[in-house]
């Protein structure tokens, strides 16, 4: 945006100002921060013989700022090519009259204004003037000023090696006094375990989340773990000891006339500030690189080994008619939108009912998005840690009983072998052996009957099924469903692994009810 440059032999003055009303927030520290940042900036630009003006002023008027007055008369005398400040607002505060006067002096002498975010403001340039603090409404100006101060504080913090807020990654806690992220040892141990699981044991993020939930280890916020949380955590290079400012940028979008903000990685290296942090690293650079490599490979999967079948849609073979229970077909509609549609029930079987005629087709993406959302919810409940409840206690005693019966059977079988051995060694005679054999086979039969009864218990089945489902749902493929990284036919393969059938029906309110039967 700003094409102007300024050579390193320019004559430069620096102006630093804090107002007394900022006193409550450590004025000395703030001054030091500004001094430090401007010094870094001056060094970067290679300016020499820089003149420094610094003051703690009360109020915005020129009269209340003696150092500024001195600077301004120097500017008027044409002493400088440029004046550097933390931000333009350091110069443009005050009433209309003062601001007009300052602007005119800079304009008349052609003195440029430099700001630490690398802006060069030329008041003879109409565009610069338009975007400068000298125009616009005062209220907006004031608002922007507050935001800028906030941002300036964050930049300084990053340059000083501290993250710019009190929220720190899992494994650390924020120490207000030292302004450093201090290691929380038990969390750091968990992180270590996660890195090993990921890199050494090759577990997926989903499997790691599952393991952590099984071990009843709470997440940062005290809840349960998700694959996304694990994946984001493993990729966070804060753990390697770096801090950032503007690592992410916010993008504004309009979706159905609603403003939507999305946070994205800032890919403009010019605006990202990265610095070595003061905190203890928990992941080595090498490990971090390995983690990123594996995640990249997961993404690259997209282009290699694709299983692409023609005429297979994402929901092929999954949607069933609520009336005859037969499968509904899908087709690509030719035309402008080129959308995929689920067709109404057209099966001409003996099972066909009159209601089948009343079924309606539906847009495939509509059903797909709804299904995806439901899958997400289902996964959440599947991986939620089981609360200690009465049900759970009953479940535990049930599995204890099952184990006891299994042990009794095992013991009786071993005894069986022993009886044979005793007979061979003439310790017992034939009758005794027969009697013992009978006794133990009765024990086995009794226990097996009990076991069958217990295993038929619904709770036991539910829990066992849940366990199997958890295994199924923690695969990399399921993660790809949520990351939209699959072709239509691949998506169909994974969905068929998780879902038996989807039934949709239009309800009286004009909406659609969707029922999913999971495997």
Quick one: 27 or 346, whose CB is closer to Zn ion?
346
Output the smallest distance, CB 356 to Zn ion, in A: 3
121 scored as a contact of Zn ion (CB under 5 A): no
Could you tell me if 466 and 385 are in contact, meaning their C-beta atoms sit under 8 angstroms apart? no
Q: How far apart are CA 234 and CA 194, in angstroms?
A: 8
Taking alpha carbons only, the member of 94, 55, 95, 60 closest to residue 71 is 55
62 scored as a contact of Zn ion (CB under 5 A): no
Place of tokens 């030719």: 334
Q: How far apart are CA 101 and CA 94, in angstroms?
A: 11
Quick one: 56 or 346, whose CB is closer to Zn ion?
346
User: What Å distances lie between residue 2 and 119, 131, 145, CA to CA?
Assistant: 7, 12, 21
72 scored as a contact of Zn ion (CB under 5 A): no
Helix-strand-coil split of the chain, %, nearest 5: 50, 15, 35
| Long-range Cβ contacts of 248-256 (<8 Å, 24+ apart) | none
Q: How far apart are CA 91 and CA 27, in angstroms?
A: 18
Tokens linked to 282: 């928990």
Quick one: 323 or 341, whose CB is closer to Zn ion?
323
> From the CA atom positions of the chain, what is the Rg in Å?
35
Output the smallest distance, CB 217 to Zn ion, in A: 48
Place of tokens 């899908």: 330
Output the smallest distance, CB 369 to Zn ion, in A: 24
Output the smallest distance, CB 328 to Zn ion, in A: 8
**Crossing angle of helices 27-45/138-159, nearest 10°?**
80
Output the smallest distance, CB 361 to Zn ion, in A: 13
Q: Which of 102, 210, 212, 356 is in the footprint of Zn ion by CB under 5 A?
A: 356
Output the smallest distance, CB 505 to Zn ion, in A: 12
Quick one: 424 or 500, whose CB is closer to Zn ion?
500
323 scored as a contact of Zn ion (CB under 5 A): yes
Quick one: 355 or 365, whose CB is closer to Zn ion?
355
Could you tell me if 181 and 172 are in contact, meaning their C-beta atoms sit under 8 angstroms apart? yes
Output the smallest distance, CB 496 to Zn ion, in A: 21
Quick one: 72 or 321, whose CB is closer to Zn ion?
321
DSSP label of 517: E
Q: How far apart are CA 366 and CA 345, in angstroms?
A: 18
The contact mask relative to Zn ion for 326-355 (x = CB under 5 A, - = no) is -------------------x----------
| Sign of the Cα pseudo-torsion (457, 461, 462, 463, in order) | positive
- The footprint of Zn ion on this chain (CB under 5 A) covers a number of residues equal to 5
Taking alpha carbons only, the member of 269, 197, 282, 195 closest to residue 240 is 282
30 scored as a contact of Zn ion (CB under 5 A): no
Output the smallest distance, CB 324 to Zn ion, in A: 3
Quick one: 31 or 326, whose CB is closer to Zn ion?
326
The contact mask relative to Zn ion for 282-321 (x = CB under 5 A, - = no) is ---------------------------------------x
Q: Which of 72, 242, 324, 330 is in the footprint of Zn ion by CB under 5 A?
A: 324
Binding site for Zn ion (CB under 5 A): 321, 323-324, 345, 356
């Amino acid at each position: 945006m700003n094409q102007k440059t300024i050579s390193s032999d320019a004559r430069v003055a620096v102006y630093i100002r804090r107002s007394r009303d900022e006193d409550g927030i450590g004025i000395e520290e703030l001054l030091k921060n500004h001094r430090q940042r401007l010094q870094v900036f001056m060094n970067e630009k290679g300016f020499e013989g820089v003149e420094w003006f610094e003051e703690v002023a009360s109020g915005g008027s020129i009269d209340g700022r003696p150092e500024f007055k001195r600077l301004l008369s120097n500017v008027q005398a044409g002493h400088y090519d440029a004046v550097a400040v933390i931000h333009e607002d350091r110069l443009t505060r005050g009433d209309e009259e003062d601001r007009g006067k300052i602007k005119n002096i800079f304009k008349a002498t052609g003195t440029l204004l430099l700001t630490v975010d690398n802006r060069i403001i030329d008041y003879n340039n109409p565009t610069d003037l338009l975007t400068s603090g000298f125009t616009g409404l005062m209220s907006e100006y004031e608002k922007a000023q507050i935001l800028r101060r906030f941002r300036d504080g964050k930049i300084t913090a990053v340059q000083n090696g501290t993250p710019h807020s009190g929220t720190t990654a899992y494994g650390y806690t924020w120490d207000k006094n030292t302004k450093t992220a201090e290691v929380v040892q038990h969390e750091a141990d968990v992180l270590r375990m996660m890195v090993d699981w990921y890199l050494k044991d090759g577990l997926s993020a989903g499997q790691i989340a599952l393991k952590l939930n099984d071990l009843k280890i709470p997440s940062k916020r005290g809840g349960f773990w998700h694959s996304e949380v694990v994946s984001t955590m493993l990729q966070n290079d804060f753990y390697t000891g770096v801090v950032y400012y503007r690592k992410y940028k916010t993008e504004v979008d309009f979706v159905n006339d609603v403003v939507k903000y999305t946070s994205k990685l800032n890919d403009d290296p010019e605006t990202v500030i990265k610095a070595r942090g003061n905190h203890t690293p928990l992941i080595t650079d090498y490990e971090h690189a390995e983690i990123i490599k594996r995640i990249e490979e997961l993404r690259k999967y997209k282009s290699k080994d694709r299983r692409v079948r023609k005429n297979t849609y994402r929901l092929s073979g999954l949607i069933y008619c609520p009336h005859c229970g037969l499968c509904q077909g899908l087709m690509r509609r030719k035309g402008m939108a080129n959308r995929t549609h689920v067709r109404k029930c057209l099966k001409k079987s003996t099972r066909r009912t009159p209601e089948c005629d009343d079924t309606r087709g539906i847009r495939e993406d509509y059903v797909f998005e709804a299904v995806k959302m439901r899958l997400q919810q289902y996964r959440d409940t599947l991986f939620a840690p089981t609360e200690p409840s009465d049900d759970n206690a009953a479940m535990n005693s049930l599995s204890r009983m099952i184990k006891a019966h299994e042990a009794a059977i095992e013991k009786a079988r071993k005894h069986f072998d022993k009886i044979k051995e005793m007979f061979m060694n003439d310790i017992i005679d034939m009758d005794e052996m027969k009697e013992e054999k009978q006794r133990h086979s009765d024990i086995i039969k009794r226990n097996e009957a009990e076991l069958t009864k217990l295993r038929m218990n619904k709770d036991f089945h539910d829990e066992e099924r849940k366990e199997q489902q958890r295994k199924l749902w923690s695969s990399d493929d399921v993660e790809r469903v949520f990351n939209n990284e699959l072709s239509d036919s691949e998506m169909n393969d994974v969905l068929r692994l998780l879902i038996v059938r989807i039934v949709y029906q239009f309800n009286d309110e004009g909406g659609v009810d969707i029922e999913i039967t999971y495997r």
